[in-house]
Amino acid sequence: MENLNERFEQSKLLKKYYKPDFSQLFNKIKDIKAPVKREILMGLLDGNWHSELDLIRLAKKKQQYMGAVTLGTMVISLNNSLKNDYVDRKIIDDKMYYKISDNYVGLTRAAYNKFKYNVD
């Protein structure tokens, strides 16, 4: 029983799950200004996998000339600017699918709710 208590020590849990850079990441997500990137992220907020074609259709509402290469470049740009694997990519049945990483779905929702309602 003592071994179980050691595994659940508060300091160990904090080291494992607390990410102090979340506030910086939150601000970076909130401050994304490109309407196309915001539209893509809004489409991914449900945390599910979305096909490349669905995201292209969604993004074409904001930017007429949008294709697979532009979408791929935007995802790489998002991951580089946020300095992590923020948007996951996966090939299913020879088609590319995207989703926000499970660790960042809640953080992204919070950032966009703050952006949407202009709460400071």
Percent composition of the chain: helix, strand, coil (DSSP 3-state, to 5): 60, 10, 30
Classified as helix, coil or strand, 53 is: helix
| Local confidence band at 97 (pLDDT 50, 70, 90 cut-offs) | very high
| Residue 59 token pair | 């993004």
Specify whether the CB–CB gap between 48 and 41 falls below 8 A.
no
pLDDT tens digit string along 9-32?
555 554 555 455 566 777 777 777
Domains of the chain as residue ranges with CATH:
34-117 (1.10.10.10)
**Separation between Cα atoms, residue 103 and residue 31, nearest integer Å:** 19
What pLDDT shows up at residue 65? Answer: 84
